[in-house]
Structure 1
Amino acid sequence: MLTTNFGPYTYQNPFMNASGVHCMTIEEMEELADSQAGSFVTKSATVAPREGNPEPRYIDLALGSINSMGLPNRGLDYYLDYAIKKQAEMPHASPFFFSVAAMNVEENITLLKKIQSSAFEGITELNLSCPNVPGKPQVAYDFELTASILKNVFSFFTKPLGVKLPPYFDLAHFDQMADILNQFPLMYVNSVNSVGNALFIDPDTDTVVIKPKDGFGGLGGAYIKPTALANVRAFYTRLKPEINIIGTGGILTGQDAYEHLLCGASMLQVGTQLHKEGPAIFARLNQELSAIMKAKGYQHIDDFRGKLQSITD
């Protein structure tokens, strides 16, 4: 019932982790692989290992979370070695996802050239949207730079590739970014990353709750679901059909998952709630989504995926 088609691949269900959550170490990724998630994605890897921003840098909130992690990770080689070995263990399974992020354009190219020349044959996700590295703007808010990077990347990269995007808030920006993305053979877009530069105040101490960037951080969880749904829908209706959508943001329940799929997503990433519950969340989400589909009379996700209705009278 929950199988989903994603490009040429089929997954047993649409759920996976959001990069950055429960995927820092090999042990955590193995727990995801052994869970009831349909797939998983590695931590966003940089060329060299990074410690990330000072603590406290992540806080759970009543309706979500705020973080300024700063891309802590073990470095490209750590994750790439694991990915190649894991790939060999599951040669007939649909591939998992490998995420990369960079501090500058040159690093993006270095990362992807190393993956291109490696034995990894899975799906690569280029993170163009990290909002939590001090002094570094989000690349995907610079449309001209995004187009330049993708033109360079696709001059040599031939493996399946998607991009992770920040949230957009203006219809004109959806149009502009979709026009750029439609020029390239992307496999998918992942929408959205956290809403950047939010601020949360502890009412008992009158202070911010995270240390980096004077308390400014990426907002996640239920707070951002309406924004995430809008971005999924906007890109689903603007991108060419061969570009798939991963819906990310505010997935706490099967109903949240159903709404992302209804807006046009084919896969779903879970971040804040995975951090709160651990990998056991995927069994619950599968059960809840199955129950909703059964109640509505749907046999397959494609029976309703992308079929959000508008008010016409």
Structure 2
Amino acid sequence: MLTTSFFDHTFENPFMNASGVHCMTHEELDELAASKAGAFITKSATLESRAGNPEPRYFDVPLGSINSMGLPNKGLDYYLDYALSYQEKQTRPLFFSVAGMSVEENLEMLWVIQKSNFNGITELNLSCPNVPGKPQVAYDFPLTKTILTEVFQFFTKPLGVKLPPYFDMAHFDEMAEILNQFPLTYVNSINSIGNGLYIDPMTESVVIKPKDGFGGIGGEYVKPTALANVRAFYTRLNPSIKIIGTGGIRSGQDAFEHLLCGATMLQVGTELHKEGPAIFERLTAELTAIMDEKGYTSIDEFRGKLKTINV
């Protein structure tokens, strides 16, 4: 009932982790592989390992989370070694995320992946909002086009891009026009909403240390924005470019709404951090129950078929 076709492969269900959550180490990745998630993705890698921003840098709040992680990860080689070992034993494709600290670093990492035996799906993160002094690339439309032009001069493996949230119809139009010029496998929308602020009224203080408390907002707070971005790109991108919906998925109902807007796969971040990999069994059960109640026997029967009010 929940089977999902993506990249010439059929996954048991559309659920994945969001890169950055429960995917730092080989052990955490193994736990995702053993979970009920349909697929999973590695931590966004930089060329060399990074400690990330100082603690505390993540905080659960009533309707979601705030974080300023600063791309802590164990480096490209660590995750590529895992990916190559994983694909020797599994037929299910692995998603591999990279997020360089510069355009040049991204290109260098993609060159390494291109020359490797990795046969999964690569995600280029153009939207990390929590590295001090580093702007989000995907808010610079000409730079985004320049990067993708350079990438596709040599990169021939399946590639998706992770995007920040957009808030203006003109920006949806402009970014979609750029993305449609390239043979992308997918767009992942959205990353956290950058530079929010959460205050503990008891201590009269911010709750995370980096950037004087400013951080990316995730969870329930961002679901309406995430749904809008999924829908906007689903209706603007070439049909060959699939959508991974990310943002505010904490129940089967949230997942259903993302799929209704046009998502093919679904990534879970904040709620995975709170519940652990067992969440995927709960989400699949809840989504199945909703589909049963509505009489749907497959996701394709309702994917992208969001109704609008025309009266």
TM-score of the alignment, normalized to the shorter chain, above 0.5? yes
Of 208, 221, 232 in structure 2, the residue corresponding to residue 223 of structure 1 is 221
Cα distance between partner residues in 2 of 1:134 and 1:9: 38
Give the match for residue 77 of structure 2: 77
Cα distance between partner residues in 1 of 2:168 and 2:8: 32
Give the match for residue 56 of structure 2: 56
Cα distance between partner residues in 2 of 1:133 and 1:210: 14
Cα distance between partner residues in 1 of 2:195 and 2:109: 27
Cα distance between partner residues in 1 of 2:36 and 2:301: 22
Cα distance between partner residues in 1 of 2:248 and 2:172: 20
Say if 1:7 and 1:242, in contact at 8 Å, map to a contact too: no
Give the match for residue 290 of structure 2: 292
Give the match for residue 136 of structure 1: 134
Say if 1:7 and 1:244, in contact at 8 Å, map to a contact too: no
Query: Which amino acid in structure 1 is aligned with residue 156 of structure 2?
Result: T
Instruction: Report deviation, 1:5.
Output: 1.3
Instruction: Report deviation, 1:116.
Output: 0.3
* CA offsets 1:78-127 (integer angstroms, 9 cap, x no match): 0000100000011xx23110000011110010010000000101000000
Q: Secondary structure at the match of 1:44?
A: coil
Q: Percent identity?
A: 74
Query: TM-score scaled by structure 1?
Result: 0.99
Instruction: Report deviation, 1:7.
Output: 3.2
Q: Where do 4+ consecutive residues of structure 1 move more than 6 Å?
A: none
Instruction: Report deviation, 1:10.
Output: 1.2
Alignment of 1:256-275 (within 5 A): 256-275=254-273
* CA offsets 1:56-84 (integer angstroms, 9 cap, x no match): 00000000000000000000000000100
Say if 1:100 and 1:127, in contact at 8 Å, map to a contact too: yes
Query: Which amino acid in structure 2 is aligned with residue 12 of structure 1?
Result: E
Give the match for residue 99 of structure 2: 101
Give the match for residue 167 of structure 1: 165
Instruction: Report deviation, 1:304.
Output: 0.2
* 2:109 paired with 1:119: no
Give the match for residue 210 of structure 2: 212
Query: Which amino acid in structure 2 is aligned with residue 153 of structure 1?
Result: V
Cα distance between partner residues in 1 of 2:188 and 2:11: 17
Cα distance between partner residues in 2 of 1:175 and 1:5: 27
* CA offsets 1:165-200 (integer angstroms, 9 cap, x no match): 000000000000000000000000000000000000
Give the match for residue 5 of structure 1: 5
In the alignment, structure 2 segments of 5+ residues that lack a partner are none
Instruction: Report deviation, 1:131.
Output: 0.1
Give the match for residue 239 of structure 2: 241
Cα distance between partner residues in 2 of 1:304 and 1:225: 19
Instruction: Report deviation, 1:294.
Output: 0.4
Instruction: Report deviation, 1:17.
Output: 0.1
Paired residue total: 311
Cα distance between partner residues in 2 of 1:217 and 1:83: 30
Cα distance between partner residues in 1 of 2:176 and 2:301: 25
* 2:251 paired with 1:253: yes
Query: Which amino acid in structure 2 is aligned with residue 248 of structure 1?
Result: T
In the alignment, structure 1 segments of 5+ residues that lack a partner are none
Query: Which amino acid in structure 1 is aligned with residue 34 of structure 2?
Result: D
Give the match for residue 149 of structure 1: 147
Q: Secondary structure at the match of 2:127?
A: coil
Cα distance between partner residues in 1 of 2:122 and 2:172: 23
Cα distance between partner residues in 1 of 2:219 and 2:302: 24
